[in-house]
Chains A and B, each alone.
Chain A
């Protein structure tokens, strides 16, 4: 894939906490048109990567969006450059309605003075995002009473209205039903047509169905990279997973999950 203005290029990213190396020189890139998955066992550094890219924790190395270096910038400035993210636990503003949530997300490029005015009418981008995520009927619902899946979609919708070029999604289908997962996956596919989508996920089934490319992290380093099939057949990946957990119990849990 070629590097475009909407491409996220991470080079030799390192994150340390008090001498503990959480991410030790990770490089990967993601481009518009693909749904890139970031997987790995617990503690592999997946979320930490996203945190560093979005300015939540301090990292060294380089993470570029188009020509812009992201590392070292304050979080809100990184967002303004076009990098949006979600969190493991759905975080929407419970006291505000779906519309208000989206309106806030859509407003980051508004002038400060216009903030002092009340909202009149609905931004067309919000309508589009609502349709895209199937939340049109929940316009006036307080976000706090949405279902878990709906909250996750609202978060994605918020990224859409803020017109993020790069969407970093941290476990977007955790806790969702199978139908909801399928819907989410299809949504991501549509979104990825024009944007870069990077998903951190544990759900292998979900990954197999919707990933364009996969990067496997292990102990803060890239273990393997490629298509779903390539990664699954990589012996190093198999070894890591075999070596880190006792097979029978894991299998049981795995079946339950299926």
Chain B
């Protein structure tokens, strides 16, 4: 390696992996390990948002939908596992003890199906949704509002289908995680480590995508979609890939959230939850590699610690963060780091020689006359 610079992100990921997988478990109490696990989940979703929004320009305000797909897939599996074979979950008994398990629950008894669902459901849903939206060139604020509306719609739907989904109280009280007793501290540590490792994997994926030709193309699409079209690419497909990857990450985040936190309700996928996922990304730096993940973790930590000592103050701080970061640091705190250390190269669009092209130059008439 002649030049170290291209590998710095990889080294960064390595350091983060070391901290999360080796240092944290030996230093932190179980309570903070659990919290850190929760932050890791938000960070995984944030890494995806960073890809879709920061690099792809799609402000995904409805990541709760995909978070929910993963979370409910996992939660249905864990609920069935806790209920035991051939038994109904408690909340279903309440409404109709004799009715069978709803058909869409049945396959979630299988470990393999659950894992596949967590990965493939978001792919399917995001592909259909993204294809439709991007092909009809829905973008910008439209895209943001529509995705947000879908998150709200899904949350309302789940709240109102109580026998099928558990309604607003959601699914909780999981005893086992793929055969492991969830109340055991060793197993909790394991679940945390899986979440942390998945975060590292997601960072690697985004790092590789970022340095690939696709990454360049994605940024090109973000900055000048029409121009990309006239280079022979269909921008819809490029955006679709980023959107689907972000969706899968949100789904993985949701799936890990369930065993770590122990409850999933429609509220975790609705409007404000989806917006809170954005908050960390904006704070950390939407277009940077580490910004979204670290930002999400910072927001999580703020909620845990500041939210404890000064609840209403935390809301004001969160609100101010949204305002001040967007106003003064649109590329997040990571851009500050970049400015200070020069590690992150950020071109400024300051043309050296600008001759503004007049709308209409020399009229043709004079030429003809000569």
Contact = CB atoms under 8 A, between A and B. Distances in A.
A and B touch in the complex (CB under 8 A): yes
A93 to B, nearest CB: 5
A93 B369 CA distance: 40
A39 B364 CA distance: 9
A148 B234 contact: no
Interface string A33-50: 000000111100000000
A115 interface: yes
A27 B224 CA distance: 31
B273 to A, nearest CB: 31
Interface residues on B, range: 35 or more
Contact of A232 (B226, B356, B368): B368
B368 A238 contact: yes
Interface string A79-94: 1100011011101111
A164 to B, nearest CB: 9
Given A89-B357, A115-B212, A116-B214, A204 B351 contact: no
B351 A250 contact: no
A89 B351 CA distance: 14
Nearest to B215: A118
A95 B230 contact: no
A247 interface: yes
Contacts of A93: 219-220, 223-224, 227
Given A93-B224, A202-B361, A162 B351 contact: no
Interface in A30-67: 39-42, 54, 56
Interface in A145-175: 145-149, 151, 158, 162, 171, 174-175
Contact of B360 (A91, A148, A158, A202): A202
Contact of A117 (B212, B217, B230, B353): B212
A96 to B, nearest CB: 6
B350 interface: yes
A1 interface: no
Contacts of B211: 118
Given A93-B219, A148-B353, A254 B230 contact: no
A137 interface: no
Contact of A95 (B223, B227, B232, B356): B223
A95 B364 contact: no
29 contacts: A76-B230, A76-B234, A79-B231, A92-B227, A94-B347, A95-B223, A95-B347, A95-B349, A96-B219, A104-B217, A104-B220, A104-B231, A107-B213, A116-B209, A142-B347, A145-B347, A145-B350, A158-B231, A174-B358, A175-B358, A176-B355, A202-B363, A204-B366, A205-B367, A208-B367, A241-B368, A244-B365, A251-B365, A254-B363
Given A95-B223, A96-B219, 8 more contacts: A41-B363, A92-B224, A116-B208, A117-B212, A145-B349, A149-B353, A175-B356, A241-B363
Interface of A: 39-42, 54, 56, 74-76, 79-80, 84-85, 87-89, 91-96, 100-101, 103-105, 107-108, 110, 114-119, 142, 144-149, 151, 158, 162, 171, 174-177, 202-205, 207-208, 232, 237-238, 241-242, 244-245, 247, 250-251, 253-255, 257-258
Per CB-CB distance, the 3 closest pairs between chain A and chain B, nearest first, are A254-B366, A204-B367, A108-B232
Interface of B: 208-209, 211-214, 216-217, 219-220, 223-224, 226-235, 347-358, 360-369
